[in-house]
Structure 1
Amino acid sequence: MDRKELIALREQVENRDQKEERIVQKLDPFMNGNVGIYYPINGEVNCFDDFKRYKNLYLPITQENGKMDFYQFTGKLYKGKFNCLEPSNKKKIDPLDLDVIIVPMIGFYKMHRLGYGKGYYDRYLKQTQAIKIGVAFDCQKLDHMDIKKTDVPMDLIITESKTIWK
């Protein structure tokens, strides 16, 4: 399956609310310290709504030069350069100060994630020692994936039915 097919599959997940609730319950014990999270797009697992009141939450802002940084979420979002919602606060966190980072996935194979293909997350994940938690629905599990040297494995992957540890 290519990325477009996987995104379409993810967008059509049945019983989404119940599955996301199970994922959020499994994530909850890891929500300690400074946490990087994302605002969901294209059918990504929505963990944000359940954790948006968490005080040490950081959201990514991507730049045209391929760089991504995380900025503190203080309750307000605005539509950024790539039509994604971004935090209005411009207090950037150093990658080494993040304790946990929740990572969206289009698909996954073993401990590796398939993203949108631009490498934003992989470049950022190389800079941090945070616990890397990929979140996905069971239907996003792949039977095979080409793994590149630049791909950063997750420390754990959480789906509605499994927690997979490195």
Structure 2
Amino acid sequence: MGKETAKDKLRKDIFRQKKEFTPLDLQNKSAEVFSVLEITGTFQDAQNIFIYNSLSDEVSTLDFINRWAKEKQFFLPVVTGNDLQFVKYEADKKFVVSDYGIKEPEGKAFVEYDKIDMIIVPGVAFDRKLNRMGRGKGYYDRFLPKLKALKVGVCFDFQLLNSIPFDKNDVKMDMIVSENDLIW
């Protein structure tokens, strides 16, 4: 194995910090993150939203999706090869667990990207200059340039740093939301 990069070190550090919280702690923090997002005019105005189906250590999305599902349309990612596609979320839709352990909806990919108002993006770490660091596979960095929609990174306070390592392929966010912060 090659030398550990600054990104690798930061990922390990963040994962270590996440282990200090119980699942209930993270659930409560997730509710706080989304309560900050919900008061923004951009969220209030958004009708069609790409969002992720959270893993247990990410800002949890399911309660948020279900709370707003009658008023807004949500689309969840499905990994296809090296790419992301998004499929409309419906509560009664069948889900398949991916190789990464993520529940992915079955159905036809939604490709009318110009109709999407907002994409809510997970990340391992973000910084105050709107940089995002993911898990290292590059799915979002390859997908995000296809959209004109507002890119919103969501994270816990301890994942929001003054500065993180980034490179030219990393796509910046338009907004970052944590429990106690909203950065434009």
- TM-score, normalization by structure 1: 0.88
Deviation at 1:37, TM superposition (A): 0.7
Match of 1:6 among 14, 18, 22: 14
Match of 2:122 among 104, 116, 122: 104
Partner SS, residue 92 of structure 1: coil
In structure 2, what is the Cα distance between the partners aligned to 1:154 and 1:63? 23
Report what 1:63 is aligned to.
Answer: 80
- Cα RMSD of the aligned pairs, angstroms, is 1.9
Report what 1:131 is aligned to.
Answer: 150
Deviation at 1:109, TM superposition (A): 1.8
Q: Percent identity over the alignment? A: 32
How many residues in Structure 1 have an aligned counterpart in Structure 2?
164
Matched, 1:48 2:58: no
Cα offsets for 1:25-66 (capped at 9, x unmatched): 1222415211011111150001222213515100011122x1
- TM-score, normalization by structure 2: 0.80
In structure 1, what is the Cα distance between the partners aligned to 2:52 and 2:114? 18
In structure 2, what is the Cα distance between the partners aligned to 1:10 and 1:68? 26
Say whether the 8 Å CA contact 1:71–1:90 is kept in structure 2.
Answer: yes
Report what 1:26 is aligned to.
Answer: 36
Could you tell me which runs of 5 or more consecutive residues in structure 2 were left unpaired when the two chains were aligned. Answer: 1-8
Greater helix content: 2
In structure 1, what is the Cα distance between the partners aligned to 2:125 and 2:77? 20
Task: Flag as ranges the 4+ runs of structure 1 deviating above 4 A.
Answer: none
